[in-house]
Chains A and B, each alone.
Chain A
Amino acid sequence: MQMIRDNNWVLSVGTFLPMLGVLVLLITPKANEAAIKMVALLTSIATVLVGVFTLVNFDFDQAGSMQFVAQTDWIPVIKSTYFIGVDGISLPLYLLSMVVTLLVVIYSLDHIPSPGNPKAFFVLMLILQTGMAGTFIAQDLILFFVFFELVLLPMYFMIGVWGGEQRQYASLKFFLYTMFGSALMLVAFLAIFFKTGAESFAIPYLVENGAGIAKNVQVWIFAGMFIGFAVKVPMFPFHTWLPDAHTQAPTQGSVILAAILLKLGTYGFVRIAIPTLPDAAIEWAPWIGGLAVIGIIYGALGCLAQTDMKRLIAFSSVAHMGFVMLGISTLTPFGVNAAVFGMVAHGLITGMLFFIAGSVKERYHTLEISKLGGMLTQAPQLGWILGLCSMASLGLPGLAGFWGEFPAILSAYNPADGLNVTVFRTYMVIAALGTVFAAAYLLWLYQRTAFGTPKGHDHHDVHDVNTYEWVAWMPLLIAIVAFGVAPNLLFSIIDPAVQETLRAFGG
Chain B
Amino acid sequence: MTLLALSAAAWTAPVIDYHALAPEIVLAVGLTAVLLVDLFTSERNKWLLSVLTGFSLLGATLPVLTLALHDNSVRSIFDGRYVVDEFSLVMKGLFLLAGYVIVLLSSSHVEEGDYWRGEYWFLLLTSLLGMVMMASSRDLVSIFVALEFLSIPAYMLAAWRKRDLRSNEAGVKYFLLGVFASAVMLYGMSLLYGVADSTLLVDISKSIDLDGEFAAVQALAVVFVVVGFAFKVSAVPFHTWAPDTYEGAPTPVTAFLSVASKAAGFIALVVLVLTAFPEGRDVWQPFIWVLSALTMTIGNVFALRQTNLVRMIAYSSVSQGGFVLMPLAVAGGAAGEAALRAVVVYLVVYAATNLGMFGVILAVSRKTRSGDIASLGGLFSYAPALGVLLTIFLASLAGIPPLGGWIGKFAAFQALLTDATPWAYALAVIGAVNSVIAFGYYGNVMREVWMRPVPHGDNTPIVTPSSLQIALGITAIATLVLGILPGVVLNFGDMADLVGAFGG
Residues on A facing B (Cβ under 8 Å) = 30, 73-78, 117, 120, 142, 145-147, 149-150, 152-153, 156-157, 160-161, 167-168, 171-172, 175-176, 179-180, 183-184, 186-187, 190-191, 193-194, 198
Contacts and interface: CB of A to CB of B under 8 A. Distances in A.
Contact of A153 (B400, B435, B486, B493): B400
Contacts of A179: 398, 400, 435-436, 439
A304 B432 CA distance: 37
B490 A78 contact: yes
B413 A186 contact: yes
A183 B487 CA distance: 21
Nearest to B435: A183
Contact of B420 (A117, A146, A168, A194): A194
Interface in B369-396: 380-381, 384, 391, 395
B440 A176 contact: yes
Contacts of B7: none
B339 to A, nearest CB: 14
Nearest to B395: A153
Contact of A194 (B411, B418, B432): B418
Interface string B416-443: 0110100001001100110110011001
A146 B402 contact: yes
B264 to A, nearest CB: 25
Interface residues of B, number: 41
Contact of B417 (A30, A152, A153, A190): A190
Contact of A172 (B402, B433, B443, B494): B443
Given A30-B384, A179-B436, A180-B432, 15 more contacts: A74-B487, A77-B490, A120-B380, A153-B395, A157-B446, A168-B447, A172-B440, A172-B447, A180-B433, A180-B436, A184-B432, A186-B413, A186-B432, A194-B418, A194-B420
B424 to A, nearest CB: 11
B451 A161 contact: yes
A75 B487 contact: yes
Give the residue among A76, A77, A145, A184 with the most B Cβ atoms within 10 A. A77
Given A183-B436, A187-B428, A190-B414, A120 B391 contact: no
B487 A73 contact: yes
Given A74-B487, A75-B486, A194-B418, A183 B433 contact: yes
A311 to B, nearest CB: 21
B-side interface mostly: helix
B337 to A, nearest CB: 11
11 contacts: A74-B485, A75-B407, A75-B487, A120-B384, A142-B410, A146-B401, A150-B402, A153-B391, A157-B446, A160-B446, A179-B435
Contacts of B406: 146, 149
Contacts of A30: 384
Interface string B429-466: 10011011001100110110011000000000000000
A77 B381 CA distance: 41
A386 B450 CA distance: 34
Contacts of A156: 443, 446
Contacts of B239: none
B400 A152 contact: yes
Nearest to B402: A146
A258 B68 CA distance: 52
Contact of B439 (A75, A176, A191): A176
A77 B435 contact: no
B16 to A, nearest CB: 35
A176 B436 CA distance: 6
Contacts of A147: 401
A31 to B, nearest CB: 13
Contacts of A120: 380, 384
B91 to A, nearest CB: 18
Contacts of A187: 413, 417, 425, 428-429, 432
B341 interface: yes
A419 to B, nearest CB: 29
B379 to A, nearest CB: 12
B42 interface: no
A193 B400 CA distance: 21
B102 to A, nearest CB: 28
Given A75-B486, A120-B384, A184 B447 contact: no
A372 B398 CA distance: 43
A78 B410 CA distance: 10
A167 B398 CA distance: 21
Contacts of A161: 450-451
B350 to A, nearest CB: 18
Contacts of B418: 194, 198
Interface string B72-87: 0000000000000000
Contacts of B341: 77
B491 interface: yes
A117 B384 CA distance: 11
B198 to A, nearest CB: 35
A36 to B, nearest CB: 13
Contacts of B414: 78, 190
Nearest to A160: B451
A145 B401 contact: yes
A75 B494 CA distance: 11
A146 B400 CA distance: 8
A160 B487 CA distance: 33
Contacts of A180: 432-433, 436
Contacts of A152: 400
Give the residue among B429, B451, B494 with the most A Cβ atoms within 10 A. B451
Nearest to A163: B451
B401 A150 contact: yes
Contacts of B443: 156, 172, 175-176
A74 B398 CA distance: 22
Nearest to B411: A78
Contacts of B411: 78
B401 A77 contact: no
Contacts of B398: 179
Contacts of B447: 160, 168, 171-172
A450 B485 CA distance: 53
Nearest to A130: B402
A131 to B, nearest CB: 9
CB-based closest 8 A-B pairs? A183-B432, A77-B490, A146-B401, A149-B401, A190-B417, A180-B436, A160-B451, A77-B494
A142 B406 CA distance: 11
Give the residue among B425, B429, B436, B444 with the most A Cβ atoms within 10 A. B436
A71 to B, nearest CB: 15
Give the residue among B410, B411, B433, B485 with the most A Cβ atoms within 10 A. B410
A288 to B, nearest CB: 22
Nearest to B419: A194
